[in-house]
Chains A and B, each alone.
Chain A
Amino acid sequence: MARKILLEHIDVPGINTYDVYRSKGGYASVEKALKTMNPQDVVEEVKKSGLRGRGGAGFPTGMKWSFLAKPEGVPSYLVCNADESEPGTFKDRYLMEYLPHLLVEGMITSSYALGANTSYIYIRGEYFYLVRILEKAIAEAYANGWLGKNILGTNYSLDLYVHPGAGAYICGEETALLESLEGKRGNPRIKPPFPAIAGLYGCPTVVNNVETIAAVVPIINMTGDEYAKIGIGRSAGTKLISASGHIKKPGVYEIEMGITVEDFIYSDEYCGGILNDKKLKAVVAGGSSVPILPADLILTTANGEKRLMSYESLADGGFATGTMLGSGGFIVMDESTSIVQNLHTFARFYHHESCGQCSPCREGTGWMEKIIHKILDGHGTMEDIDLLWDIQRKIEGNTICPLGDAAAWPVASAIRHFRNEFEEFVKNPSAQREVKYYFHCNNIDTAAAYSSL
């Protein structure tokens, strides 16, 4: 049976309201932290828990917190990254919609640990309806004395604000997010200095993902040592997985890290198997940026071991035969999917979202989209496939921020594992053209719909 920690009370009616959330033990972590722990103790608990950043990079949260500079007389900030935009990822949206107080509670406990007296939740502009939900939760927290001056009668004060973005994937990168929060274009900054030294308004700042901040709540409640026992090895705790694509039960699932990928895809507790009982073809396991893997490699590592839902197991084999857990955006494709067409949606995405600062990314993403489009249109050559490989290789590692890598990896992995499909498009463009306009969709009867027009 799945162990739920973040989503323990998700089915309780009214859990999005303060009274119900409080009656289920909500805000206990704030009480415990402010009344019985000093800020450094909270940081130590998070270190012991082994919690790693849930936004995609998987960097140890406690370590990130301990890097925060504390110069005299300079404010420090905690900024929550709620700019969830990685294709295939919708877990933060789910968390904020149904458990807004969990994020607010996590923000208070974490801000206390970091000595921040002003904190922001930077949320993507399209999630506008969530701004209302979060503002309401924050107002309730103020009304009940969890925010504002001298919280619980202590010396600690905190103001918490929601700040909407306006549609830019790049603002999920932490330094671009800070630029955006300062009212500028979302151009990533050159690091160092890291935000822990010079972040928001040049002050020491920690930027953490929504799920990461939410996980601080159970860590403080149960202790870091207990949290570290959940999961497997260095993949401590639970992870929210956003499951989408050709599966019977798309949705957000909280998993204990260490379950098998096979179990996640096929068991009724999670995805429930492939839609219409077709065969599994490929999976993008951690959001659009991570390498796509064919069915055999996602279910079993190159060494013949069952692949697990954990940071280490998904990365087993490096990029040659493995992938990454990333943000946990798990996109499943059945046997009828054209890998090249799917890749075109990713290439178009990265081209659209490149901020334009670095030439390899700005120009390279455009080239990749155009070449893939040319191949899909039936005008591709074998040399184009090699050119595509060459371009992605020249983007990777040559940009200020990881968007360049994120744009390169899907292209590289699609060619690495499915080169034959690119070649098919080149060799037999007319046969492929029929595929191009075939979009399999479970709930749309295309022919019937068009005939009624």
Chain B
Amino acid sequence: MSELKEVRFSAESEALIQNLIKRYPEGKQKSALIPALHIAQAEYDGWLSVPVMDKIAEILNIKPIEVYEVASFYSMFNLNPVGKCLIEVCRTSSCWLRGANDVVAHIEKRLGIKDGETTPDGKFTLKTVECLGSCGTAPMLQIGEHFHENLTLENVDELINKYKTETTHSKYLDGTTFRKH
């Protein structure tokens, strides 16, 4: 991953963040931090580097530490580079009961990586996560914003083949999501 020299959000992301700030009372712009970090992460390859977080602090007029402590608390924020396709497999009770461990083992074998690792070509990262609220359609995994449910190992193979050529996280938050004010 090349070093980020200067962080400049796209005009679209910048406008989106400014739009979100308007949702909170005057002086409470820090409330927009979590949505803003989602936008930043989507623009910068699915993870949050220190310069990116510093830029968010500047936009929201808060201290960098206020951004770091939030980014490190929430599990959806990645503080290290991830693959172009982040596969998140749920493994809590209901998914475990319906075969989540088989799904994880299968992906590990297919991609030759363990939970938490990224393939050498930088395409896939595998992450096991806790309950995603898809218990009635278990086992499941999430890629980008999409839930893939009632999985079989055949489905998993299809997904891996599909995402070999697609980047997922850049779509994570885009300008069509939030209503303009």
Name A residues whose Cβ lies closer than 8 Å to a Cβ of B.
75, 84-90, 92-93, 118, 124-129, 131-132, 135, 138-139, 142, 161-169, 180-186, 201, 242-246, 250-252, 284, 288, 329, 331, 333, 337, 341-342, 345-346, 348-349, 352-353, 355, 439-444, 446, 449-450, 453
> How far is A441 from B177 in the complex, measured between Cα atoms in Å?
37
Chain B neighbourhood of A242, CB < 8 A: 135-136
The proximity string for B residues 43-87 relative to A, scoring 1 for CB distances below 8 Å and 0 otherwise, is 000000000000000001010001001100111110000000000
Known: A132-B177, A135-B177. A337 touches B74 (CB 8 A): no
Give the residue among A164, A183, A349 with the most B Cβ atoms within 10 A. Answer: A183
Contacts of B134 in A (CB 8 A): 90, 93
Which residues of chain B are near A342, meaning CB under 8 Å? Answer: 93, 96-97
Interface presence of B170 (CB below 8 A): no
Nearest 8 CB-CB pairings of A with B: A441-B99, A166-B74, A183-B33, A244-B135, A183-B30, A167-B76, A250-B136, A167-B75
**CB distance B133 to A129 under 8 Å?**
no
Q: Which residue of the partner chain A has the closest CB to B103?
A: A444
Interface size class of B (residues with CB under 8 A): 35 or more
Partner of B31, one of A139, A142, A183: A183
Q: Digit string of B131-160 for contact with A (CB within 8 Å is 1, else 0)?
A: 111111111001001110010110000000
Q: Does B37 contact A (CB under 8 A)?
A: yes
Whether B145 and A128, one on each chain, are in contact in the complex, defined by CB atoms closer than 8 angstroms, is yes
Docked CA distance A86–B93 (Å): 11
Q: Which residues of B contact A (CB under 8 A)?
A: 23, 25, 28, 30-35, 37-38, 60, 62, 66, 69-70, 73-77, 91-94, 96-103, 106, 109-110, 129-139, 142, 145-147, 150, 152-153, 172-173, 176-179
**Closest A residue by C-beta to B71:** A166
Known: A329-B135, A453-B109. A245 touches B31 (CB 8 A): no
User: Cβ of A88: which chain B residues have Cβ within 8 Å of it?
Assistant: 93-94, 131, 135
Note all chain B residues with C-beta closer than 8 A to A449: 102, 106, 153
Q: Which residue of A lies closest to B91 (CB)?
A: A345
Given contacts A182-B30, A441-B102, 14 further A-B contacts (CB under 8 A): A88-B135, A90-B133, A161-B23, A163-B31, A166-B37, A168-B73, A183-B31, A185-B70, A186-B73, A201-B25, A201-B28, A345-B92, A439-B101, A441-B98
Contact of A453 with B110 in the complex, beta carbons under 8 Å: yes
Structural contact, B76 and A166, CB atoms closer than 8 A: yes
**Cβ contact within 8 Å between A243 and B130:** no
Contacts of A441 in B (CB 8 A): 98-99, 102, 139
Complex interface: chain A residues within 8 A of B34 (CB):
125, 163-166, 180, 183
Q: Which residue of the partner chain B has the closest CB to A168?
A: B74
Partner of B94, one of A245, A355, A446: A245
Q: Of B32, B69, B130, which one neighbours A169 at CB under 8 angstroms?
A: B130
A439 touching B99, Cβ below 8 Å: yes
Given A242-B136, A342-B93, A453-B109, A166–B75 Cβ distance below 8 Å?
yes
Complex CA distance for A142 and B181, rounded to whole angstroms: 11
Instruction: Assess A184 versus B70: contact at CB under 8 Å? Given A129-B145, A166-B34, A337-B97.
Output: yes
Chain B residues contacting A90 (CB-CB under 8 Å) are 133-136
